[in-house]
Amino acid sequence: MKSYKGRGIVLHTLKYGDSSMIVYLLTDVGGRQNFMVQGVRSSGGRGSKAALFQPMFAVEFEGLVSTKMQLHRFREVRSGLVLQSLPFDVRKSTIALFMAEVLYRLVKESEPNPNLFEFVWRSVEALDALGEGTANFHIWFLARLSRFLGFGPGNSYTSGDWFDIREGAFTPLKPEHTLFFPRSDASYFHEFLHRPIDELASIGMNRTERVEMLQCLLTYYGYHLDAIHAVQSVRILQEVF
């Protein structure tokens, strides 16, 4: 049995038997990996282990794997980030649930993707530390994530552009088909791609604009990755923001 060390972000958990669970992680060393965690809800002081595996929680671990095991196991696992606000702020925890489900549905590769992993890890840190601008964070995350999934915009934005979903590009001419961002949403898309995280509050969107922008991004994702349509937490997100 081989051991290895790594970092991970919790994407999803699934109850297994009476006291165990399967934990789906995005890891730095092996992309998406699935772990069996035994005794997670048992008595004897070990039940607190379940608290480590909330959506988007970061962990550091020593894993075990062998050719005879379909699932990895933990030799040791602990919190990877000391989260100050995310577990206690309903708005941030709602965003974390959405982020985790998006990644769970869309990221399937069991190969290291250092750039994607570091983006996700830093996003958890940023969300936890964020003061103002929380309501815009999920838009920022989806906009930036598109680049790491391989279909970010392929050109630069010019004021007054539309955004062609089929071409994945900004354009000065309104597309003749219906798959495009209106000018206002194309402008917001550009802002979210380039505005620093500590300036999210300065992107002045009202609730209606935020819902419209989210729908534009989900349409863009859906054109490239059909699995986005299975994300159920969108409804909860729209109710909160």
Whose tokens are 């309903």? That residue is: 90
Tokens of 145: 């994530």
Neighbour-count burial of 207, counting CB atoms closer than 10 A to its CB (0-12 exposed, 13-18 middle, 19+ buried): exposed
User: For 22-32, what is the mean pLDDT?
Assistant: 96
Instruction: Report the alpha-carbon distance of residue 80 to residue 60 in Å, rounded.
Output: 5
Which structural domains are found in the chain, ordered by start? Answer: 2-79 (2.40.50.140), 130-240 (no CATH)
φ, ψ for residue 144, nearest 5 deg: -70, -35
Kindly tell me if the per-residue pLDDT of 153 is higher than 80. yes
Tens of pLDDT, residue by residue over 75-113, are 999 999 999 999 999 999 999 999 999 999 999 999 999
Q: What is the pLDDT of residue 68?
A: 75
pTM listed for this prediction: 0.93
Pairing of strands 58-65, 2-16: antiparallel
